[in-house]
Amino acid sequence: MIPNDVNISSSSVQLFANFDSGNMLRYERVTSSISAPPIPINSTETDTTNTNHNQGADTGVSSISHPLPKHDIEFNVWTKRDCEGTAKVNGNRSWFYFGIKGGHGKCVRFNIMNLNRQARLFEMGMLPVFRTVPGHEKWSRIYTRPCWELNNEDFKLSFIHRITDSKTSITYFAFCFPHSYEDMQILLNTYDTLYNSQLANHYLERPSIQINGSDIYYHRETLCYSCDQNKLDLITITSYKGITKGREHHFDRNLFPDSPHLTKRPHQFRNKRVFFLSSRVHPGETPATFVFLGFLDFILKTDDPRARLLRDLFIFKLVPILNPDGVQRGHYRTDQFGVNLNRMYLDPDFEKHPSIYAAKSLIAYHHINNSISPKPILSINDIFKDFMVHEKSTSLIQNNDHLLNTSQIQDKSTIRQTHFHQETRFETKTMSDHNIYNNSTLEERTINAENRPFFIERTENGLTSNMTTEIDDIDIQRASPYAFHYVNENLELHHDLFPVVNDDDDEDEGNLRNQMKGNEGSDDEDDMFSSGQNNENGVQEPKSPHLSNPDFLKISPYESGVAYYLDLHGHASKKGCFIYGNHLPDDEQHTDNILFPKLISLNSPHFEYDNCNFTIKNMYMKDRREGLSKEGSGRVALNKHFGILHSYTLECSYAVGKSCNAIPPAENESHGGRVSPPTPCSLPPKFTIEHYRDVGKACALAAIDILPGRNPFTRVAHSTFKTLHTLRDYLKHQIRQQRNKMGNSRTGASQISSVTNNRVKQQQQQYLTRVTHTYRTTNNLATTTQQQQ
């Protein structure tokens, strides 16, 4: 654990933050207990376009919503910025988490002096959280609305709380509901005990004989270790249906550092695609963890046929904390090097971004290994042959000198200091980076290649290569995983597929900037200041080129082994829960793309479909401070490199819902107990842990609703759409209306040929037929066998 040395007493009261995820830089006791007179509310909330008001916000005009009641003790508290005390310190400072001992019976006022400007968040009704141990042990929102004050760059938040429990109790306060790295380890250890049954041999020998309540296949392993030597856990959950004797490969020697004698890889399963779920790439976005746990708890249910169906259909690969070092250190947004890891997916460096490299490598593996294509298109060896651990019948340790020995594996402190030598197979060449839009050469760089380099030029007739290629060269290219790939088919330039943003698509830039005052540290801060360029000094050598191999795209999105990629986040400036998705140029694919979040909205009253964003602009915006594009986020990069159709970021407000939607009742409810929630309230709720968990459950349900006729308790049948087919047609009509409004020349809709649409429809139908046939055949076989017995 990374200690926090703030542990200072003031009379009989002591504040401290020396625990996992704690954050408090320092504090001081205020001698006077007299509250300052209230200051009028700043009028920027009611008129964001007024120039004078905006100038006031920049020059330090304060804004306090109301005076706080009289208090007995007052403290000024300062939070640590991310990477405080290092050269990588940055401006993210919204997360606070500290405890207080003493003060029994006293009303205490806390002034958090230096938060990011989160005016909009607290205007929405955001309340910090507290818990008392022992006593009030469940995290709850504080009871009194806080007041806030903006002073230049610092946002001062003040709130009060009366210490009412026993004199020995400790009360904790946090920005939002905490869940530390240690909390997650304790929880996963509990799951290990509950679900880590050893029934694989039984189902391999007698697959038709089901054991009641024990169909859950659960496997936990260490995907890799972080830079601080924390575990990056990988949880695999499915049913025993389709199990084989074969195990998943040790496909990347950078991963799975534990000894294979101690921890084996999970079994492989026939005809199952992967649902990948991750959270906490931004450490302070704690709502993500509770969405994750709601999803996890639902797919582990043994008494719900929908959960059993999900386990029969998918292999769930779950990474609960992508940034364990940032979580443990009490950071808000970055890792210990000040890096926003959700911009590193295009080319992750295992030495610097081990968790992102590991997640992308894992998805690349399952994209190929779990593909449901009837004919093999790409093999694991094509991509990972220079990284794979060759598994033989004899000991891996004895036959691979470059692997760690047992003592090294047990001592994880040696793992990241062990470097593997990779032989350079290609001769050195020089190539110029070429701009496809203005036909200009940027600068030369040295590369490793076996064949002659080429670049693509834009001409009046389309795109052409600057060289011709002989057949022998192409054959050599196919044999070399890192050689250049020649294009042997005609190319079309689709503006939708490139990071070209036209301001006409969006609201006036000036108005948007004014609306976002007081919102630093959130994703939308990046969106509003997007004119900067990437802050790269020249072209850098790729760190993981095998994970962006264009051959990945040979596998159709409907045949990819990865059915869903869902990364979970928190959000500071918008209400409710919603999804950021990708803009796909094909109407059929984009319909399926937006269908998933629409189905989430039918299963949870707290999910806002109208807040979802699938624009091109939201795929390529650049961060104001870092200069990094959202193209490097997981949802965009994985769609770009692997063609994953259902690739999303789920965002949840820290504070409150936008509305409380009435969701339709479930079909066949009388046959399965009460599955419909009570009539929702008319006012949007202040979000609690239970609200976040409900959204996680809805994400799981949407994955079976999207398959026609599979969910026995579907809500689609009682919605205004009645059938999934009608809902798809409605969404497709919306897409075409929007594209016609924007202009076909810009959206590329007119460039999608009827041949392409027919091919996509055929792939859709083949996938649905294959899934239905596989599931029904297996069920019929099991039923027949049981009847015979």
The residues that are catalytic are 651
Burial of 679 (0-12, 13-18, 19+ CB in 10 A): exposed
> Distances in Å between the alpha carbon of 92 and those of 30, 287, 325?
26, 18, 16
The whole-angstrom separation of Cα 262 and Cα 259 is: 5
Sign of the CA dihedral with 422 first, then 426, 428, and 431 last:
negative
The whole-angstrom separation of Cα 394 and Cα 786 is: 40
Q: How many helices (H) and strands (E) does the chain have?
A: 21, 24
Spatial contact of 222 and 250, defined as CB atoms under 8 Å apart: no
The whole-angstrom separation of Cα 639 and Cα 716 is: 28
The whole-angstrom separation of Cα 365 and Cα 157 is: 47
Spatial contact of 402 and 421, defined as CB atoms under 8 Å apart: yes
324: preceding bond cis by omega (within 30 degrees): no
The whole-angstrom separation of Cα 746 and Cα 583 is: 13
- Which residue's structure tokens are 């009608």? 726
DSSP, collapsed to helix, strand or coil, labels residue 51 as: helix
Q: What are phi and psi of 207, to 5 degrees?
A: -65, -20
Spatial contact of 620 and 630, defined as CB atoms under 8 Å apart: yes
The whole-angstrom separation of Cα 302 and Cα 479 is: 48
Q: Which residues lie closer than 8 Å to 23 by C-beta, 6 or more apart? A: 4, 17, 79, 80, 95, 96, 97, 98, 330, 331
In this structure, what DSSP letter does residue 743 have? Answer: -
For residue 579, what are the β-bridge partners?
A: 650
Spatial contact of 386 and 272, defined as CB atoms under 8 Å apart: no
For residue 140, what are the β-bridge partners?
A: 130
> Distances in Å between the alpha carbon of 368 and those of 139, 256, 427, 547?
43, 19, 29, 12
Spatial contact of 683 and 151, defined as CB atoms under 8 Å apart: no
